């Protein structure tokens, strides 16, 4: 992509009196000064305004003793700095001509090239310098080689680790909730919540539902225990069968883990992949995925995500973990990946 024409800045790119010639159409012009963005050539008198804005591919020639270097940049006549001169701005300063032009300019700045009657002559050293500190240089080279090897091995290891992780592990998108163990009381029919009493005692009516048929169903609390009403449930709320109304908790505090797993993830677990609970505090806990009646019902409905219970090892989770979240990670061994890859080949 060509650089914009206003890329040139005199303060940023040195303008040097390097001898060169420019062949512009049928005109052969002597160069006055040169930079990586523009060439300045000598003309007779003032610049004809008709030339301004003219674009053309020109021949830029540098004559050395015994040979020449020729470049073919595309230029636009941008005007003149003063009488007797014309400014040729390179249309694409970063074009194919840039490496050779930059080498000539840098060599001229370094003093390797000098101008001699319109020619460029080499003024650098004629023979290589005698080696100094050969042993020290060899030590630095060995250290550099070792550093490069270590960095290369580190990058290779990191790349292999990422590839193996992607092949052997996957995360379920739904979050995992660590909650207090309790029992749910659900609606048995479609209707409207007519009565709700979270402070009910054992044997008292804890909620009532007025069914769509007109019947009123009363539900008693089976124990003296703590009651938590399901979010979104209130007197007057409309419910459907198996909608959760409330949960009640025994005096002893237990921990349960539940989430929704994708059908694909459930198939992986049933095929033998191991499940892990990655808790936000950094722990990785093996769990068993337990299928319930709610799992079967959701699957039969064609849901893409189905509810499951996750059972960790005894003592892996404590009441202090209640309220924390986690992610469900599925993992299979590298041998399983190798076997599947080879068996899928035709």
Instruction: Domains for the chain: give ranges and CATH numbers.
Output: 5-122 (2.40.10.220), 170-179+254-334 (2.40.30.170), 182-249 (2.40.50.100)
The torsion of the CA quartet 43, 45, 51, 53, rounded to 10 degrees, works out to 80
Mean pLDDT of 61-85: 88
What mean pLDDT, rounded, does the chain reach? 82
CA angle (247 as vertex; 243, 252 as ends), nearest 5? 155
pLDDT tier at 105 (50, 70, 90 boundaries)?
confident
How far apart CA 66 and CA 59 sit, in angstroms, is 19
| pTM exceeds 0.75, yes or no | no
Mean pLDDT of 145-167: 80
Q: Tokens 């996750």 correspond to what residue?
A: 310
pLDDT, tens digit, 9 for 90 and up, residues 49-58:
888 999 999 9
Q: Tokens 């636009």 correspond to what residue?
A: 76
DSSP 51: G
- Decide if pLDDT at 12 tops 90: no
pLDDT at 59: 92
pLDDT, tens digit, 9 for 90 and up, residues 23-64:
988 889 998 898 899 999 998 888 888 889 999 999 999 888
- Decide if pLDDT at 272 tops 70: yes
pLDDT at 108: 82
């Amino acid at each position: 992509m060509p650089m914009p024409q206003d890329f040139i800045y005199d303060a940023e790119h040195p303008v040097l009196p390097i001898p060169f010639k420019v062949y512009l159409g049928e005109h052969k012009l002597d160069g006055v000064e040169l930079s990586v963005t523009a060439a300045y050539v000598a003309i007779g008198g003032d610049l004809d305004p008709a030339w301004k804005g003219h674009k053309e591919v020109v021949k830029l020639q540098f004559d050395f003793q015994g040979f020449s270097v020729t470049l073919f940049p595309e230029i636009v006549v941008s005007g003149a700095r003063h009488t007797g001169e014309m400014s040729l701005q390179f249309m694409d300063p970063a074009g194919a001509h840039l490496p050779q032009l930059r080498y000539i300019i840098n060599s001229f700045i370094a003093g390797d090239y000098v101008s001699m009657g319109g020619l460029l002559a080499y003024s650098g050293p004629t023979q290589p310098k005698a080696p100094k500190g050969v042993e020290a240089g060899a030590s630095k080279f060995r250290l550099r080689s070792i550093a490069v090897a270590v960095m290369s091995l580190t990058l290779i290891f990191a790349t292999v680790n990422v590839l193996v992780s992607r092949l052997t592990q996957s995360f379920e998108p739904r979050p995992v909730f660590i909650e207090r163990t309790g029992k749910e009381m659900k609606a048995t029919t479609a209707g409207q919540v007519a009565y709700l009493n979270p402070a009910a005692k054992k044997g008292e009516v804890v909620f009532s539902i007025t069914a769509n048929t007109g019947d009123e169903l009363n539900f008693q609390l089976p124990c003296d225990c703590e009651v938590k009403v399901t979010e979104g449930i209130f007197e007057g709320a409309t419910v459907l069968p198996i909608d959760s109304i409330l949960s009640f908790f025994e005096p002893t505090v237990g921990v349960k883990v539940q989430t929704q797993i994708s059908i694909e993830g459930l198939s992986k677990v049933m095929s033998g992949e191991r499940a892990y609970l990655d808790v936000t505090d950094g722990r990785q806990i093996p769990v068993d995925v337990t299928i319930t009646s709610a799992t079967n019902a959701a699957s039969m409905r064609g849901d893409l995500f189905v509810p499951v219970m996750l059972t960790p090892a005894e003592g892996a989770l404590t009441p202090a973990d209640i309220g924390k979240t986690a992610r469900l990670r599925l993992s299979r061994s590298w041998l399983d990946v190798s076997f599947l890859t080879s068996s899928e080949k035709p």
